[in-house]
Amino acid sequence: MLKRTLLQATVALAAMGAIGAAQAQITPIKFQLDWRFEGPAALFLTPVAKGYFKDAKLDVTVDAGNGSGGAVTRVASGTYDMGFADLAALMEFHANNPDVPNKPVAVMMVYNNTPASVMALKKSGIQTPADLSGKKLGAPVFDAGRRAFPIFAKANGISNVAWTAMDPPLRETMLVRGDVDAITGFTFTSLLNIEARGVKAEDVTVLQFPDFGVKLYGNAIIASPKLLKENPAAVKAFLAAFTKGAKDVITNPAAAIADVKARDGIINVELETRRMKLAIDTVINSADARAEGFGQVKGPRLSLMASQVSDAFNTKTRVNPEAIWNGSFLPSAKDLDILPKPAKK
């Protein structure tokens, strides 16, 4: 009887040990988005919902954000392990905080082109970048397009622009009311917000930065140096699972929005599906992305952006492109080949 009891106890302890070992293999990852739970958040919520991160032995929690700058600082502080942020915001943080030890690093490019645009109502007479000279533009002070506007202005000979600052919810309203002549914002955010205020898309002039000589990279996945050093396998597993989920989102954006709806029940499904499709068409599956490869960057273009950001943002030190990017954790080129070919016209 005693032997049987001891045997049962031993088996129970072994089982508990096995469960503990299995749990120990699961790596928790706190992930900070750049913005609210809108269409593009599906890129991260879908691999969570489909269990891709779980299959990769990761316990990923995704939280909504309030801007790329916040995502960068929260990863830098150690509050989050990884995040999603505009590469220009990451560059600015590096250059303005040279002595901060835990500066995040970009490990995968998602928006190969900046989503930033200048938008105006066609009735204003603004049709080209040159028409912006002498005009009143509006945007929140932290808006990526506003921060990078000096690069856009230099490339297109724009001068004498006056800026009006406002909170994000007022940006498109002030444009429609005529309080400003034009605004900067992400194309897939502001254009749909303008439509929601009663203006038809065909009545809006959209000047996308990439179409007018500004080849800035957009949002990338960033990670803390601590995670990169202590658990590189988890970073590789995260990017592999994310890529698998991103392929699903690109293939069927409408289905992926259900995963966003599950996190924020008040979203407009039709609107967010359009937003996701617009993001895919303009910055994810762009011509530049197909040429360079999903997830990847090109050295010369990255260096040029670093120089442009240093000048436009007037950073304390010059941006070092080698310090902000590490592509060694990316999946293979074969696994990254997820972008559909453009339809033949």
- Which 8-state DSSP code applies to residue 34? S
Residues (pLDDT < 50) of the chain are 18, 21-22
pTM, two decimals, is 0.90
Q: Which of 212, 240, 257 is the last residue of a domain?
A: 212
Note the pLDDT tens digit of each residue in 64-114. 998 899 999 999 999 999 999 999 999 999 999 999 999 999 999 999 999
Domains contained in the chain, number? 2
- Evaluate whether 27 touches 234 at the Cβ level (below 8 Å): yes
* Contact present, 127 and 209 (Cβ < 8 Å): no
pLDDT of residue 344: 67
At 158, which CATH number?
3.40.190.10
Judge if 260 and 306 occupy the same domain: yes
* Owner of token pair 């724009």: 158
| Pair (155, 237) in one structural domain | no
Same domain, 175 and 318: no
Distant-in-sequence, close-in-space partners of 245: CB < 8 Å, separation ≥ 6? 43, 44, 46, 47, 48, 50, 52
Instruction: Identify the pLDDT of residue 140.
Output: 94
How confident is the model over 35-67, as pLDDT tens digits?
999 999 999 999 999 999 999 999 999 999 988
The predicted structure's pLDDT at residue 306: 97
77 and 194, same domain (yes or no): no
Distance CA 175, CA 188 (A): 16
